[in-house]
């Protein structure tokens, strides 16, 4: 029951209601209903809270061109994609980076890891440039066709793009893989369009 309540608390999906959109707020964070990535307008697929033990770490939101409710559909989605992360607490770069890399390695097959080693190493080094992620910081992880994976912190691009779509899908599996960082967040990001809920 406790796990179920956490899942309900983290479940947030923005969807149209008779032609208009309803606003969504999660843990005090306003979640935009759309995002403009590259030259494409994306829709909020789902969003929720990343918990570590009982602590709220960040709000994560997934944006796609069209609504998807399964992991294979998301990974195969065409066009631009975005995952937005808004920090709910201060976290050291070491802790945050370690969590990201652990999520990648737990959900990426050995052959894929070997192919993407250089990109993973470069990605791991990103966090060294930021001493700490503070409450309210916003990180975007975008897939832009023809450009690659672009990571930005508070609107400032971090490093050069990562060209391989497999790299972006490895990032997505941090939250959507077989061993996601938070099962409740995974379900929230894959919310079905019919389940329109807003939790504050």
The two structure tokens encoding residue 2: 């406790």
Residues forming a β-bridge with 30:
25
Per-residue pLDDT tens over the stretch 40-82: 999 999 999 999 988 999 999 999 999 999 999 999 999 999 9
pLDDT of amino acid 177: 95
Using an 8 Å Cβ cutoff, are 103 and 180 in contact? yes
Total-model pTM:
0.84
Q: What is the per-residue pLDDT across 132-173, written as a single tens digit (0 to 9) for each?
A: 899 999 999 999 999 999 999 999 999 899 999 999 999 999
22 has pLDDT over 70: no
Q: What is the pLDDT of residue 17?
A: 32
The CA distance from 86 to 171, in Å, is 16
Domains in the chain (CATH in brackets) are 2-189 (3.50.70.10)
CA distance 165 to 13: 26
Strands in 29-185 per DSSP E: 29-31, 34-37, 40-52, 55-64, 81-87, 91-92, 132-133, 138-144, 148-153, 156-157
């Amino acid at each position: 029951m406790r796990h179920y309540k956490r899942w309900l608390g983290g479940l947030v999906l923005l969807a149209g209601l008779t032609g208009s959109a309803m606003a969504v707020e999660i843990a005090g964070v306003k979640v935009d209903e759309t995002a403009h990535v590259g030259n494409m307008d994306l829709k909020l697929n789902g969003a929720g809270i990343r918990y570590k033990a009982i602590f709220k770490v960040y709000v994560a939101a997934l944006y796609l061109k069209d609504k998807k409710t399964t992991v294979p559909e998301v990974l195969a989605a065409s066009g631009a994609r975005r995952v937005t992360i808004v920090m709910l607490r201060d976290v050291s770069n070491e802790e945050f980076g370690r969590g990201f890399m652990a999520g990648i390695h737990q959900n990426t097959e050995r052959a894929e890891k070997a192919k993407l080693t250089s990109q993973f190493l470069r990605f791991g080094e990103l966090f060294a440039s930021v001493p700490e992620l503070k409450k309210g910081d916003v990180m975007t992880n975008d897939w832009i066709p023809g450009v690659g994976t672009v990571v930005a912190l508070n609107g400032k691009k971090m490093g050069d793009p990562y060209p391989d779509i497999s790299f972006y899908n490895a990032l997505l599996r941090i939250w959507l893989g077989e061993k996601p960082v938070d099962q409740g967040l995974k379900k929230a990001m894959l919310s079905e369009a019919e389940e329109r809920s807003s939790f504050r």
